[in-house]
Amino acid sequence: MTKILLSLATLFMLSTADEIKIIDKPIDFGQERIDMTKEYIKKHYGFEVDNIEIEPKIIVLHWTADMSFKKSFNRLKPQKLFSDRKDIAKASALNVSAHFLVNRDGTIYRLMPETWMARHVIGLNYSSIGVENVGGKGNKKDDLTKAQLKSNIALVRYLAKKYPTIKMLIGHHEYREMENTEYWLEMDSGYRTKKSDPGDAFMSKVRKAVADLNLSKPIK
């Protein structure tokens, strides 16, 4: 009887781990943003596309560097880049985006189709799904909440199960370690930014929790 109860408990935990609540909250992604995305692909990756569909191979975790969900969402919503993003404006007027945004309480919002290309990580946009987390103000380490950690773990599991093509899990701060991999497409050697999000501590916790998925990380 004890073995049966333990088996049932294990089964319950596994089934619960597969359950995830995602709220759709679309950013503005009309024809203008689609066309700018196509132009971005042509300019930075060197090929033309009929659509902006991607085959997900990498999950990239981020933070927004703002403690407000509303402000974080409003940053991603417009189709064109804000005027204060001079660090990346020369590369394209296409606004930054992400597929998911996780609030401080762990609520997961889907901002755009999972297999459309988002502008969220230099060199890797064409093969990656981006997950933003509200927080990281002032680039403080370990700023993200336990609820966000739990939701990121659940989201990684959801995506890895849905897309068997996903083989890697990285933090935004690790993106430059991907430059010599098959996934890197950026042609402009001068287009790089320094990132610290979401940090080694957060990534270590997520990776430990999803170790059974055998997702690779960048080799330093």
Kindly state the average pLDDT of the residues 89-106: 98
Q: Where are the domains of the chain?
A: 21-213
**pLDDT above 60 (res 160):** yes
Kindly state the average pLDDT of the residues 3-19: 43
Whether the full predicted model's pTM is greater than 0.85, yes or no, is yes
Measured CA distances, 99 to 56, 129, 208 (Å):
11, 6, 23
Q: Give the torsion through C-alpha atoms of 178, 110, 47, 36, to 10 deg.
A: -120
Fold of the domain built from segment(s) 21-213: Lysozyme-like (3.40.80)
pLDDT computed for residue 18 by the predictor: 58
Structure tokens of 104? 């401080």
